[in-house]
Amino acid sequence: MTPARDPVRDKAARAWRFRCGVEQEAHLRFARLARWLGECGFARPLVDLALRASSDESRHAIRCAELSLQYGATAPDPLTTAPAPLAPAGLPSRAAVLYEVVAACCVTETGSFGVLTTLLGLVRGGPLRRILRELAADEVQHSRLGWAALSSERDRGTTSLLAPFVPAMLEGSIDAGLFQPGTPEEEDGALLELGVLPHSLKREVFTRTTLDVVLPGLSAAGVDPGPARLWLAGKMRGLAP
């Protein structure tokens, strides 16, 4: 007789499989970003940080694939082509690179760090905690690459041009259904011990990280947080019963 499937474990397996794909994508994105930063004349330490991040993400993909397998899913096939650039077409090349580094690092990596530190505050299992700690220690460095690049551009006056794009960056960093009610399966607290945030907590962490870290950081670098605040308020209104 085949053992009954555990829906929470299945959900966690899918989440870590998805995360593996995200890490594979980030590996290729950072390798390309390193090249772009060099071509646009950004400081060498920023290029080196991007190269290091690319290598970290490759290791993260392996960790996520291992967890996915442990919980019963297969690992995704390795990616071979870099993901589409994040910036909309038509921006001058330096602005497009700044967009990419801000969206990938200041927004997405800061968001990942928020998720990982929340999990570290709640997960008790030792082996999983070791992986979460490893990922968090790297993701915070990846986030710093974005803040350093942004700060280096501040005096050029280019950072203020980013303000209307921040809502798209935030939207691109979340799942389509994050501001929709979660299913009972997505809200199951047992997901936590498998390293996955239940849906409402995930939304709460995203909102808190955006308001407490991302927008103040962008504002300090000369990016008006107004459009992003409006975007977030609209999302919260859509959620209200």
The residues that touch Fe ion, with contacts defined as CB under 5 A, are 23, 57, 60, 109, 139, 142
Smaller CB distance to Fe ion: residue 147 or 188?
147
To Fe ion, the closest distance from the beta carbon of 16 in angstroms equals: 12
**Alpha-helix residue ranges (DSSP H) falling in 123-210:** 126-153, 166-172, 199-209
| Number of DSSP helices (H) and strands (E) in the chain, helices first | 9, 0
Angle ∠(135,199,241) on CA atoms, nearest 5: 150
- Give the number of other CB atoms < 10 A from CB of residue 8: 18
Smaller CB distance to Fe ion: residue 57 or 153?
57
DSSP-based helix, strand, coil % in the chain, nearest 5: 75, 0, 25
Smaller CB distance to Fe ion: residue 57 or 100?
57
Smaller CB distance to Fe ion: residue 143 or 225?
143
To Fe ion, the closest distance from the beta carbon of 174 in angstroms equals: 16
The candidate with the shortest Cα–Cα distance to 23, out of 49, 52, 55, is 55
Smaller CB distance to Fe ion: residue 139 or 188?
139
Question: How far is residue 135 from each of residues 90, 129, 207, measured CA to CA in Å?
Answer: 34, 10, 21
To Fe ion, the closest distance from the beta carbon of 23 in angstroms equals: 5
Say if CB 181 and CB 115 are below 8 A apart.
no
To Fe ion, the closest distance from the beta carbon of 143 in angstroms equals: 8
To Fe ion, the closest distance from the beta carbon of 7 in angstroms equals: 27
